[in-house]
Amino acid sequence: MYIDVTDATFETEVLGRSDHEPVVVDLWAPWCGPCKTLGPLLERVIDETEGVTLAKVNVDENPKIAATFSVQSIPSVFAIAKRAIADGFMGLVPEAEIRAFAERLVAGPSELDLLVAAGDEESLRQALALDPGHEAAVLALAALLVDSARAEEALALLARIPETPESRHLGARARLSEMPDAAILADTARVDARLTELLETVKDQEEHRQEFIDLLEAMEETDERKARFRRALTSRLF
């Protein structure tokens, strides 16, 4: 059994579901020969693995998901646990490797998993000593560093992992915290005024363009100003 996932359902069917169980994401396309061979193997193995869901994504029809994973070639397979990439492989691999991949997903928590779950700075640094590019550990530690005014270290840490919405949000917060007038971030009216001011120079001044984008990234997705100022930025740039 598997579920077909689209750009519209990815948040719920993959990220939301991964809060409770591992989700294996199979990125494929109808024209991809190796995908047609791997697909049935993956379906059979995951169907035999209790507590794991297989989500199939046609990358031709769902470009946002493909971009999220920075897909360079297909087939590409990723295991998502707790909204982060836990494992994965690319290309057509033997069934034995697929079974080993599935078994890792249902194994008990590793030392690395326990350190990341602890969530304190010391534990997260120990986790990164074991796996310097562990996405969940990088994001969690970067958030702690931003909150404790260590922006430069947070930005260096985020550079270890592929860009995601969460890493962009943290990067924006880190850069904004170093602004001479960072206090404006707590004042909605002053943020709006600054964005309006920056619109006059975003096209020609890269530094102002980056600040404008960071101010938007720091906003919640539900903030109606975000879409309004994005449209304003697009009209100025293009």
Residue found under tokens 């030392």: 111
Residues 6+ apart with CB under 8 A from 232: 199
Tens of pLDDT, residues 132-166? 999 999 999 999 999 999 999 999 999 999 888 89
The rounded mean pLDDT for the chain is 91
Predicted local distance difference test score (pLDDT) of residue 186: 77
CA distance 86 to 68: 15
Residue of 5, 23, 24, 35 marked active site: 35
Other C-beta atoms lying within 10 Å of the C-beta of residue 111 = 10
CA distance 187 to 165: 23
Task: Write out the two tokens for 128.
Answer: 């990164």
Residue 33: strand, helix, or coil = helix
Q: Residue 35 catalytic?
A: yes
Tens of pLDDT, residues 204-220? 888 889 988 989 888 88
Residue of 5, 24, 25, 32 marked active site: 32
Residue 186: strand, helix, or coil = helix
pLDDT band at 183 (very low <50, low <70, confident <90, very high): confident
Which sign does the torsion angle of CA 103, 51, 132, 26 carry?
A: positive
Tens of pLDDT, residues 32-90? 999 999 999 999 999 999 899 999 999 999 999 989 998 889 999 999 998 999 899 99
3-106 CATH fold = Glutaredoxin (3.40.30)
Q: Helix %, strand %, coil % for the chain, to 5?
A: 55, 10, 30
